[in-house]
Amino acid sequence: MELDDLKQAWQALDRRLERHDALQLQLLHERATDRARSRLRPLMFGLWCQTLIAGALVFACASFWADHHDTPHLVLCGAVLQAYLLMVVVLGARELVLVRAIDPAEPVVLNQRRLAVLRAWRVRTSPWLGLPWALLHVPLLVCLAANNGEDLIARAPGFVVMQLAIGAVVLASILVFIRASRSRPRLRAALERSASGNSVERARAALDAIDRFEQE
Give every CB contact of residue 45 below 8 A, 6+ residues apart in sequence: none
Average pLDDT score over the chain: 81
Q: Tell me what pLDDT residue 160 has.
A: 92
Alpha helix stretches (DSSP H) within the chain: 3-67, 72-100, 108-130, 133-147, 152-155, 157-181, 185-196, 198-215
Least confident interval from 71-75, 101-105, 112-116: 101-105
105-156 residue pLDDT tens: 677 777 778 888 888 899 989 888 989 999 999 999 999 999 888 999 989 9
H or E stretch covering 106: none
Q: Tell me what pLDDT residue 96 has.
A: 92
* pTM for the predicted model, two decimal places: 0.80
